[in-house]
Amino acid sequence: MYAAVRDHAYRDDREQPFHKNKKSTLMKPLGLGVLGLGEGRSIISAGVRSALWDVVCLCDTNARLAQERCAEFGVEQYTTDYEAMLADPAIDAIGIYTPDHLHADHILAALAAGKHVICTKPFIDDLSRARELLDAQVSSGKAVMVGQSTRFFEPFMRQREHYESGALGDLVTVEASYSADHRWFLDKPWARQAAFKWLYGGISHPADLVRWYLPNVSEVMGYAYLSANGREGGLVNPDTYHFVLKASDGRIARVTGVYSCPTVPVERDSPMTCILRCDLGASQADYHELHYAWTVGKQAAIESFESKRDYYFRFGGNSHHAGEYQNYIEYFARSLAAGETPRPDVREGIVTVALMQAMDEAAQTEQPVRIADLLGRYGLEGLLAETAR
């Protein structure tokens, strides 16, 4: 019954977002400044290959890294001074890839300088600055998009398209997980600080996927645990999470993340996955395997996007996935050109952070937490209803 579909044709007639020829578009390229050049490497790779962007300047407090990235990608300018980059009129947008706890300050500075913002996930790592960020975005009139990379990975885009076609029917439940052996990440000094939480760094992916399908998630309960492996690596916050979520219409969902344990072979357990169970069909998008599997009635298939592996994973094995960044910066540029808001925007980003903060509180209190109550405490009442429409 199962058909293994290689490099499925569903997307072949779609406009490919990958441009080598900078002259292939009539749109004036946007100037990009990149802040933070670890994961920032992926957006630089995307920008230099895009007809829609010019990478104008790189910025990192580590000058040697900035020089290396300039040499790697043929970018001509770098600085260790963020304010200097913000003062450059050739830059339209800042891509922010600094440690999680610095995002709020870096976004606010970019908006104050009149720049659009693409900020990596997690957008911010608690709600304390959320009202200030929302007000700053509104008064600046500039676009702020959260770089929720997984939404822009081939099997997940295909799953969304399939769901939106109506073929799967109405959503009953969604289950998303992201589990990986990320003990290597603890070499980064900021990962061992109290401010670092896998709840934001890791769970932001499955939390966003669930909210993409169930934007009206209203309540959460669950547990978190810090494993011996994580504690040995210097982690101070949990690395193991299981949560159950409820939407305002009664539907339920599940989010899981485990970050300091070996993983099951990918043939049996995908590191990142999103399962939609609907009334007419079911579907699963998988990460490194580049698979999308679905059932509708008596039909079923496993689609592979293997031929796009080199597009998505350009360097660093599977640890960097620049193709997603290519997709999202080009989507961002096209949205601005069309006068549309690139998503997830600041409002959606804040509510996803509220979901993660609610998870944190639920795990600590061992009680269910309502997201609207939490948002209300930060002067953001109404935001859940506004983004759930």
Ligand X SMILES: NC(=O)c1ccc[n+]([C@@H]2O[C@H](COP(=O)([O-])OP(=O)(O)OC[C@H]3O[C@@H](n4cnc5c(N)ncnc54)[C@H](O)[C@@H]3O)[C@@H](O)[C@H]2O)c1
Site for ligand X, rule CB under 6 A? 35-39, 59-62, 65, 82, 97-100, 102, 120-121, 147, 149, 188, 201
Q: How near is the Cβ of 185 to ligand X at its closest, in Å?
A: 7
**Residues pairing with 285 in the sheet:** 274, 292
Instruction: Indicate the residue whose CB is closest to ligand X.
Output: 38
> Is the CB of 61 or the CB of 365 nearer to ligand X?
61
Alpha carbon dihedral 336, 341, 343, 347, in 10-degree steps, equals 140
Give me the least distance between CB of 266 and ligand X, in Å please.
18
Nearer to ligand X, 56 or 168 (CB): 56
Q: Which is nearer to ligand X, 46 or 369 (CB)?
A: 46
Burial 17-49 (b: 16+ CB within 10 A, else e): bebeeeeebeeebbbbbbbbbebbbbbbbbbbb
Of residues 184 and 225, the one with the C-beta less far from ligand X: 184
CB nearer to ligand X: pick between 281 and 323: 323
Neighbours of 194 (CB within 10 A): 8
Q: Are 332 and 317 in contact (CB under 8 A)?
A: no
In the complex, minimum distance from the CB of residue 147 to ligand X, in angstroms, rounded to a whole number:
5
Minimum CB–partner distance for residue 38 and ligand X (Å)? 2
Beta bridge partners of 9: none
Helix axis angle, 103-112 to 130-140, nearest 10°: 20
Exposure string of 227-242, with b = 16+ CB inside 10 Å and e = fewer, is bebbeebebebbbbbb
Q: CB of residue 43 vs ligand X: minimum separation in angstroms?
A: 9
Min dist CB 199 to ligand X, Å, is 12
Q: Which is nearer to ligand X, 99 or 281 (CB)?
A: 99
